[in-house]
């Protein structure tokens, strides 16, 4: 169901005619019960209906949540009590329109709770999660409402429905079925209890992880401890220390812009190990922030929920509404890729061990050594140094490069706006227009780490695209990241991995901006193993030589990246792909193993994880991308639970889809129009149908294997 499930997904991140904007009064009915001084109680007279962040205070959220739930109950009661026979318009379309106020406050709250939270917002999240769960359960278990929806579902083959309406009917019907609509009274009560507990524990898991991650600090006070670190890395660490009131020292933490350069360049092996272990042990420290008990508790509740709904496992329940359909299909794909990847990763490990031996290291390669020796080997093998690349990837230029690609493909324009409300001074806003100047939406970007922001990068919405009264409601989309900060000496210079991440999240943003569906749920119900297609395909343009020459310019001279350096990037494109793919696949299998459990009796989380990865045959030099106590994707929300495999499922699609552009031209207008249509349809049709309409055939695995160099030698 769109309103409350949306919040649960957003708390993880989250997560996805030419009028200037629709007035807020046309989007949301305002309840009389809400205090008029509450900003959620009135129309927003800001440009494009952007939330007036400067007026919204923490104390406004709970009353707005409560009013939103009360209003939706009234709206749905009117549908259920309608004496007229159910029709698509008086039942399904009305159901889709309901809960607009609740969605409005949910999107604003979840955006801030992920990107700029506080102790009070965390408390509100804990308080409201079980309330929203109970609200959703009450709706999905409403017998009168379900009777009308079931009546339409039984007539689905004779009703005059277009593809989007047919899809919406099927999705809403499945929502009710998975929500326990056909259970008897005691079982409905039990499902409500399970969902309420899950909602609380999943929010707690994410909050614990953020706090535990922020608690670790590696303070250095001597030149010897900084051995091997480039000047830019030292400067960033010195700035971080000075901001904490300790000038003359250096501070490193567990955010990727601090963590990865240290692992890549520090020649002080014990410090690499200390930082690496701190990262992999997040959420696994005894005390109030220990997530290990939560992994078991969440899994136990999910098992009971699946059993109550007649499914053998939680994975079986989750995969009913994904492209893969079954756990067996997921395992089959992961198994094929594991067999292709493991030999490559073993060869990479052997090459790094050989480098250790040549240097007289006298030790066996460990996971905290991988980044350091991989960087050395890349330099030796391809004459390519990460620090040689960074000067060409100034954040502003990379962002403009992403805009340029969207302009060349879809004719979009991104205009800076300094008159829009922002939730933090570091956020920037861009109005997005079509080539002819028609308003399409607004993009907010928020790229630097801070303690009030969770780790990682994500795309979210402050408002989804939909239609009201025949008028398009334009989306308000956010891109949030944790990239390298600027220093006094230089602007923000990105690693190539950060460049790829920026393009990745921008791909999600494009789908949100280009979405053009009639119903709100159609923009939200994109299957998780399809949702990464638009993001991952955008990464392909970032590394194309033709595109690199357009945006990669030296931050001091303005000179475009030299052909020789582009050639080195291209020559090294397969480098370390065994490692990157294997650590991801290990996490995907670990996720599936958790979600296919049928009991947690006698289970000890750490031992369970070790057994899962041991059966895989994961080599000791590589660890899973996430460990269970910090696997936020699968334990902070149901969205990616039994679905972390989706990145590689989508990778099969995006590698095959990008071949269409390579065959016809990177910016071929006809291909771009066809792909834009795929993006615009959101969740309005079966993704297999959408993909084959674009490509003319099912996706092939071979392009993915080719792009990652996973062919046998």
Residue 391 DSSP symbol:
G
Q: Are strands 471-473 and 413-417 parallel, antiparallel or unpaired?
A: unpaired
Q: Is 397 exposed, middle or buried (0-12, 13-18, 19+ CB in 10 A)?
A: buried
How many residues can be counted in the chain?
713
Q: How far apart are CA 355 and CA 377, in angstroms?
A: 8
Token pair of 435 as six digits: 């080539």
Q: Are strands 439-446 and 413-417 parallel, antiparallel or unpaired?
A: unpaired
580 is catalytic: no
Measuring CA to CA, how many Å separate 607 from each of 157, 331, 601, 611, 627?
50, 21, 13, 6, 12
Please check whether residue 8 is in contact with residue 638, taking contact to mean a CB–CB distance below 8 angstroms.
Answer: yes
3-state SS record for 161-174: CCHHHHHHHHHHHH
Q: How far apart are CA 103 and CA 119, in angstroms?
A: 23
The contacts of residue 307 (CB under 8 Å, 6+ apart) are: none
Q: Are strands 458-463 and 466-468 parallel, antiparallel or unpaired?
A: unpaired
Residue 433 DSSP SS3: strand
Best CA proximity match to 51, nearest among 467, 480, 437, 427: 427
Best CA proximity match to 444, nearest among 128, 121, 114: 114
Measuring CA to CA, how many Å separate 60 from each of 64, 512, 642?
6, 27, 35
Q: How far apart are CA 406 and CA 409, in angstroms?
A: 5
Ramachandran category for residue 460: left, alpha or beta (phi over 0 → left; psi -120 to 50 → alpha): beta
Residue 393 DSSP symbol:
B
Q: Which of these is catalytic: 164, 348, 375, 505?
A: 505
Best CA proximity match to 142, nearest among 200, 67, 74, 85: 74
Residues with a known catalytic role: 505
């Amino acid at each position: 169901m769109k309103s409350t499930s949306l919040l649960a997904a957003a708390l993880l991140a989250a997560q996805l005619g030419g009028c200037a904007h629709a007035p807020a009064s046309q989007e949301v009915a305002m309840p009389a019960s809400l205090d008029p001084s509450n900003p959620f109680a009135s129309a927003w007279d800001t440009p494009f209906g952007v939330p007036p962040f400067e007026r919204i205070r923490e104390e406004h959220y709970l009353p707005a949540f409560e009013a939103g739930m009360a209003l939706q109950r009234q709206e749905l009661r009117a549908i259920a009590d309608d004496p007229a026979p159910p029709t698509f318009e008086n039942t399904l379309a009305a159901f889709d329109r309901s809960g607009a106020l609740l969605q409005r406050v949910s999107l604003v709250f979840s955006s801030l709770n992920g990107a700029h939270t506080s102790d009070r917002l965390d408390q509100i999240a804990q308080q409201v999660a079980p309330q929203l769960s109970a609200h959703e359960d009450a709706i999905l278990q409403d017998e009168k409402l379900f009777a009308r929806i079931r009546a339409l579902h039984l007539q689905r083959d004779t009703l005059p429905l277009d593809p989007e309406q047919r899809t919406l009917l099927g999705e809403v019907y499945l929502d009710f079925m998975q929500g326990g609509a056909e259970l008897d009274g005691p079982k409905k009560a039990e499902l409500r209890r399970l969902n309420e507990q899950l909602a609380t524990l999943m929010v707690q898991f994410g909050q614990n992880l953020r706090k535990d991650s922020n608690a670790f600090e590696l303070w250095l006070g001597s030149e010897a401890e900084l051995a091997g670190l480039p000047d830019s890395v030292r400067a960033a660490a010195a700035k971080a220390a000075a901001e904490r009131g300790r000038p003359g020292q250096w501070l490193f933490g567990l955010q990727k812009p601090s963590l990865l350069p240290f692992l890549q360049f520090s020649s002080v092996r014990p410090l690499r190990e200390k930082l690496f272990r701190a990262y992999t042990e997040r959420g696994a420290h005894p005390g109030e922030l220990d997530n290990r008990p939560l992994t078991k508790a969440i899994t136990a509740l999910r098992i009971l929920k699946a059993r109550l709904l007649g499914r053998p496992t939680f994975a079986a329940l989750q995969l009913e509404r994904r492209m893969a359909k079954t756990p067996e299909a997921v395992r089959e794909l992961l198994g094929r890729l594991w067999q292709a990847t493991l030999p490559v990763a073993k060869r990479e490990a052997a090459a790094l061990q050989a480098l250790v031996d040549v240097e007289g290291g006298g030790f066996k390669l460990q996971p905290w050594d991988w980044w350091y020796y991989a960087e050395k080997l890349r330099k030796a093998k391809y004459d390519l140094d990460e620090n040689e690349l960074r000067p060409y990837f100034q954040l502003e230029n990379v962002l403009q490069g992403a805009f340029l690609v969207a302009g060349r493909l879809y004719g979009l324009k991104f205009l800076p706006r300094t008159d829009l409300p922002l939730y933090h001074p570091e956020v920037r806003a861009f109005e997005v227009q079509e080539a002819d100047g028609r308003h399409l939406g607004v993009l907010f970007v928020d790229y630097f780490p801070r303690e009030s922001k969770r780790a990682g990068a994500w795309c979210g919405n402050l408002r989804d695209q939909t239609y009201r009264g025949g008028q398009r409601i334009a989306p308000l989309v956010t891109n949030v990241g944790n990239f390298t900060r600027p220093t006094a000496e230089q602007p923000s210079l990105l690693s190539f991995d950060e460049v790829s991440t920026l393009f990745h999240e921008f791909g999600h943003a494009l789908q949100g901006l280009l979405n053009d569906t009639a119903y709100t749920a159609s923009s939200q119900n994109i299957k998780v193993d399809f949702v990464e297609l638009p993001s991952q395909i955008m990464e392909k343009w970032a590394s194309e030589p033709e595109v690199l020459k357009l945006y990669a310019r030296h931050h001091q001279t303005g000179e475009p990246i030299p052909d020789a350096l582009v050639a080195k990037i291209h020559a090294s494109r397969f480098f370390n792909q065994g490692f990157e793919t294997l650590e991801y696949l290990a996490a995907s299998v670990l996720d599936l193993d958790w979600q296919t459990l049928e009991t947690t009796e006698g289970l000890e989380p750490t031992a369970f994880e070790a057994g899962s990865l041991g059966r895989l045959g994961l080599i000791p030099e590589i660890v899973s991308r996430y460990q269970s106590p910090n696997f936020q994707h699968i334990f902070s929300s149901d969205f990616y639970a039994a679905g972390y495999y989706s990145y590689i499922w989508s990778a099969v699609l995006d590698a095959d889809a990008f071949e269409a552009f390579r065959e016809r031209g990177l910016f071929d207008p006809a291909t771009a129009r066809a792909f834009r249509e795929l993006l615009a349809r959101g969740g309005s049709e079966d993704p297999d149908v959408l993909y084959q309409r674009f490509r003319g055939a099912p996706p092939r695995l071979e392009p993915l294997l080719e792009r990652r160099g996973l062919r046998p030698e």
